[in-house]
Every structure is written in structure tokens, then in C-alpha cells.
Homo-oligomer: A and B are copies of this chain.
């Protein structure tokens, strides 16, 4: 009730579109490239660790209130030099995106739904009064950056180049106000499959003492502010033997997200035999995950509606516990860019573990496995789905 009334009020007040006019728009055609004089050789695939090794180049573009977006630059990967009073250090004027680039069978490099990430990046920027930009221009610039370091895009199913566009406020002043200087930078990291030796289902702690996001807050945006506060609860869950937090909300103990991913549950009605794939609705507290959207879209396309209902609705840990008790809990998984899907096997709640079924001899349920395959097929160019897979660079 609180949630819904706040939600409608919020949409009335938070008109985050067109917050500011920009003097110069972001323009990929102005790109300047300074090449690294020491190109690196690719690491062996088995030595790739998520987000620890970066490619030879990075992209930067500065923005000022007076002049708008400046000249985009691709230059050797290196440190940022910033005034210690820069507002990114004090007031968390920062946001990011995460997306992946893949080698396709026809020797191109593709990205998966980059327009969705750019749309969300603009929403995140507007929410904390940082400048917005033309999504297509940044997609072009990311393509140029990837092209520059194309020898470092790893080969092989499950391997990809993780791309991290970031925006920070750089105004050198301690007054808490709208930044008049900002910067986009993009760095890229070659990564291997999240599950190197097949799926590994995780144990979650259902967490109600810490709250990830709330109505009237910023939990639906990809802001730095949403991340640091979630580490301590994760460490504490780990001490109790759980890899991640299953974030609950409100007196109803509604399920919202898991760790830094969206989350899906599958229930099967004992009476009708009908199955339901369910995830929390986008009410302002839930990250608008690109993988979440892809799962929902593909499930609606591929699952037989006579057997399946696809729901975006509120559901609580109590419902999950009740349905597990009745044998109606069939499957559960997280969804996000890094792992695509992350199967769940147990959920700690009120001193007991709720068991989520897995397939015999496997660390995943059947739908989770299918979803992973559906998405991988599109990402690696084996199947086409509208413009989800976009060519951003050529290897020829």
C-alpha cells in the first residue's frame, strides 16, 4: 500500500527526462585516437579473472555545463587524475553499466542489447543530475574502443569482453549541488564463463535486517550508491555459510533481488499442474535488468501459455516457504550480465533452509538451463532475435 501510493506519486514528481539542455551533444565522429605503444598479448583463456585485467586502451569524454560534451578520446589505459575535492569522491556522483561483447561465427564482434544499457545509463544519469547523452553515439564509441583492442576479445563459447561504461561527476568543490563537470570513461576486461565447470547452484540468506532499496530511493538505477552498502550484509551471510543475500522488503517480506542480480522463481500449482515463472515488478526498487527483460521476453515467446504463466508480481519469502512445504517450489535463479543465470539451491530463512529442487546430477533446474541456452545462442550469433545482437566491430 505504501509502496504503491509512493510509486504513483514518485512518477508524478520524478520527471527525469530532459533535465538539462546540453551545449554540445556527444558526437562519436569527433573521436581522437592515441594508440598505445606497447600492445599486450592476450592472456590464456584459463587465466582470465572477471574485472581484474584490462585491455590496452580506454575511452574518455569530458563534459562541462558551459560547453557540453567534449572530444571523445581513445588512449592508452591509465590512471585518472582528479582533484581531491571532485564530487565523485564525496557525494557518490557516479553510475555505471555492464555489458559484454562477443565474437560471432562470421568474424564480427557483437554486443548484446547495448541500447537497453544506454537507455538505463541515461536514466541513472538524469536521476543524480549528471548529463545525458545520445545512446547511439556511445554505442559507436564503444565499438571503436573494442575494435582498437580486438586482439584481446577472447575466443570460445562462454568467453567475452566485459565492457564497463562509467560516468562520474568531477566538479572540484565541496558544496553539495548539481555537478557542472562530468566524465564518461569506458574500460574493458576479457572474461571467461562465470561457471567454468558447469553450473554451480548457490545458497542464499533471506535478508530482512538490511534493506537494499526502498520506494522513493534509487534502487532501480545503476548507481554506485546502491553497491557499497550491500557488502557488509554479504560478508555476514558468508560467515553463516551463504554466498549471497536474498533481499527482502517491507513487512510482507517481499522478495526483490539476489546479491547484485534480479531473481526468478518457478512455482507449480499442485491442483492444476500449471507452472508460473515469477519475478518482482519494476516498482522503482528493482533494477531494470537487461537480462531480466530478456528472460521475460524469451519466456513469453518460447513457453507454452497452456502450461506456463509469466508473472511480474509481488511475492514473499513466506509464499516461497509455504509452496516449498507443499512441493510447489520447482526452481529459482538469479539473472544478470555477469552470470546470465545463477541457479539457486537453498535459501536460509528463520533458522531453516528452504530447499530448491535441482535436476538429478545437475546443479541447475531445467528452465534455468534452457534460459541460459536461449540467451547464449543469441549472444554468440547462433540464433537471431530482432536487433538484440548488434555488430559493433569487424575482425577482418
Interface residues, chain A, with chain B CB atoms under 8 Å away: 1-2, 6, 9-10, 12-14, 16, 19, 50-52, 54, 58, 77, 79-85, 88-94, 96, 98, 126-129, 162, 164, 166, 168-169, 172-178, 185, 187, 189, 208-211, 214-218, 223-233, 235-236, 250-251, 260
Whether the Cβ atoms of A209 and B128 lie closer than 8 Å is no
Considering the complex, give the chain B residue whose CB is closest to the CB of A215. B211
- Contacting residues, chain B, for A89 (C-beta < 8 A): 80, 88, 94, 166, 168, 224
For the complex of A and B, list the 5 residue pairs with the smallest distance between their C-beta atoms, beginning with the closest. A51-B174, A211-B216, A92-B224, A91-B227, A225-B225
Whether the Cβ atoms of A228 and B128 lie closer than 8 Å is yes
Measured CB to CB, the closest approach of chain B to A194, in angstroms, equals 12
Whether the Cβ atoms of A216 and B224 lie closer than 8 Å is no
Copies in the complex: 2
Whether the Cβ atoms of A224 and B174 lie closer than 8 Å is no
Cα(A164)–Cα(B85), bound, Å: 9
List 8 A–B pairs whose Cβ atoms lie within 8 Å, in order of A's numbering.
A84-B187, A85-B189, A89-B94, A91-B227, A92-B223, A92-B227, A174-B189, A223-B228
Whether the Cβ atoms of A210 and B14 lie closer than 8 Å is yes
Measured CB to CB, the closest approach of chain B to A162, in angstroms, equals 7
Whether the Cβ atoms of B80 and A225 lie closer than 8 Å is no
Cα(A2)–Cα(B164), bound, Å: 38
The answer, among B228, B251, B260, for a CB contact under 8 Å with A93, is B228
Whether the Cβ atoms of B209 and A218 lie closer than 8 Å is no
Whether the Cβ atoms of A223 and B229 lie closer than 8 Å is yes
Whether the Cβ atoms of B84 and A82 lie closer than 8 Å is no
Measured CB to CB, the closest approach of chain B to A55, in angstroms, equals 12
Whether the Cβ atoms of B210 and A13 lie closer than 8 Å is yes
- Contacting residues, chain B, for A83 (C-beta < 8 A): 79-80
Contact A85 to B232, CB < 8 A, known contacts A10-B210, A94-B90: no
Cα(A214)–Cα(B98), bound, Å: 27
Measured CB to CB, the closest approach of chain B to A217, in angstroms, equals 5
Whether the Cβ atoms of A227 and B12 lie closer than 8 Å is no
Considering the complex, give the chain B residue whose CB is closest to the CB of A93. B228
The answer, among B2, B50, B176, B189, for a CB contact under 8 Å with A227, is B176
Whether the Cβ atoms of A85 and B14 lie closer than 8 Å is no
Additional pairs, 14, CB under 8 Å, beyond known A51-B175, A79-B82, A174-B189: A6-B209, A13-B236, A80-B89, A81-B81, A85-B189, A92-B224, A94-B228, A128-B232, A129-B231, A176-B260, A210-B217, A211-B217, A214-B217, A225-B225
